[in-house]
């Protein structure tokens, strides 16, 4: 916060004196909010959201501009629905200026917290304060090989994959962590011979037979369909991850957000159709996605700051 601890403590005590209530319970382990302190926090967040919303609406009305919304997606999701999402938003939501960004799931969540993105579609998002998350679907990740190196069996046993030379992204990647955690549970060690942060470079290495990789269908769909790469399903265990809708609970509401979210829900159902047996729809996509998001926000609000 760029405030020295004594100065911060003085400000809190002055605020308590002005309100004539205790906001923080002080103890040997630090501090925790009282009931009044938690109420003040929740009301302050609401007020700040309203200030941000007023500023956004006034600026948009004064400039007569389209409302800017930044949507983040991972590579595999972007590959399958990014183009159609951009085209349909322009055609169906003329009041929205949609910006798409493509990053790893962890980077997208960081972008939400830094207010560099408004909405994110990210995998295996963990609960954290101030973050709204709604599980949307599950997808199955695949072994990706060069045609000459591809195992004949489909599915391939997980234990057989562990011994293959693998090219994978760094430790922040969801699939890399999932592979390593699964291998650890089975007392196995994956043979990661190439640590590469570039998805394009990984696919080139795999196509040339230098390694295999673990990747979602969407990240290699063009190469799979052209025959440059071969995909094999994985068994015992199957590697699955969950795609979440995520946004900050602390940012101001966006005027056209519900319409955009419902269009996003439509596109995610298209995404599931393209995944076929590799994808599983979760309840949030059974109806309008905006309704599922609104219900999740109500649950988060009712749970207070910790429940969010």
Residue 307 confidence class, pLDDT cut points 50, 70, 90? very low
Which DSSP letter does residue 173 get? Answer: S
Q: Please state the domain extents for the chain.
A: 1-60, 61-138+243-307, 139-240
How far apart CA 277 and CA 132 sit, in angstroms, is 28
Burial of 259 (0-12, 13-18, 19+ CB in 10 A): middle
Residue 236: is it exposed, middle or buried by C-beta count within 10 angstroms (0-12/13-18/19+)? exposed
Q: Quote the pLDDT of residue 267.
A: 97
**What is the pairing mode between strands 279-281 and 119-123?**
unpaired
Decide which of 42 and 86 is more confident: 86
For domain 1-60, the CATH class is mainly alpha
pLDDT of residue 303: 65
Confidence of residue 294 (pLDDT cuts 50, 70, 90): very high
Please state, in angstroms and rounded to a whole number, the distance separating the CA atoms of residues 293 and 291: 5
User: Does 139-240 match 61-138+243-307 at the fold level?
Assistant: yes
- What is the CATH code for 139-240? 3.40.190.290
Q: In the predicted model, what is the mean pLDDT of the chain?
A: 89
Statement: 61-138+243-307 belongs to CATH 3.40.190.10:
yes
What's this model's pTM, rounded to 2 decimal places? 0.75
Predicted confidence (pLDDT) per residue in 120-177, tens digit: 999 999 988 889 999 999 999 999 999 998 888 889 999 999 999 999 998 888 899 9
Residue 214 confidence (pLDDT): 96
Q: Name which residue leads in pLDDT, 57 or 104.
A: 104
pLDDT tens-place string over residues 168-227: 998 888 899 999 999 999 999 999 999 998 899 999 999 999 999 999 999 999 999 999
DSSP string over 41-87: HHHHHHHHHHHHHHHHHHHHHHHTPPEEEEEEE-HHHIIIIIHHHHH
């Amino acid at each position: 916060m760029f405030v020295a601890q004594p100065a911060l403590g003085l400000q809190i005590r002055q605020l308590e004196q002005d309100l004539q209530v205790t906001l923080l319970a002080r103890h040997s382990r630090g501090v925790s909010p009282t009931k009044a302190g938690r109420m003040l926090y929740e009301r302050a967040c609401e007020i700040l959201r309203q200030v941000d919303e007023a500023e956004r609406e006034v600026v948009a009305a004064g400039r007569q501009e389209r409302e800017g919304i930044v949507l983040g997606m991972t590579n595999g999701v972007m590959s399958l629905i990014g183009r159609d999402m951009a085209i349909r938003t322009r055609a169906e939501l003329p009041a929205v200026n949609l910006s798409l960004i493509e990053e790893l799931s962890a980077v997208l969540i960081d972008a939400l917290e830094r207010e560099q993105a408004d909405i994110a579609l990210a995998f295996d998002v963990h609960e954290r304060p101030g973050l709204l998350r709604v599980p949307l679907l599950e997808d199955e990740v695949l072994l990706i090989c060069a045609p000459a190196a591809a195992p004949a069996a489909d599915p391939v046993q997980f234990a057989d994959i562990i011994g293959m030379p693998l090219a994978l992204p760094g430790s922040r990647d969801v699939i890399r962590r999932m592979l390593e955690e699964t291998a650890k549970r089975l007392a196995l060690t994956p043979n990661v011979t190439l640590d590469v942060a570039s998805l394009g470079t990984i696919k080139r290495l795999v196509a040339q037979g230098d390694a295999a990789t673990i990747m979602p269908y969407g990240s290699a769909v063009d190469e799979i369909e052209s025959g440059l790469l071969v995909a094999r399903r994985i068994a015992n265990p199957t590697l699955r991850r969950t795609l979440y809708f995520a946004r900050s609970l602390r940012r101001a509401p966006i005027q056209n957000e519900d319409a955009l979210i419902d269009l996003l829900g439509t596109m995610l159902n298209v995404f599931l159709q393209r995944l076929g047996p590799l994808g599983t729809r979760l309840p949030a996509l059974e109806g309008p996605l905006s309704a599922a998001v609104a219900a999740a926000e109500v649950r988060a609000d009712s749970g207070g700051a910790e429940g969010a």
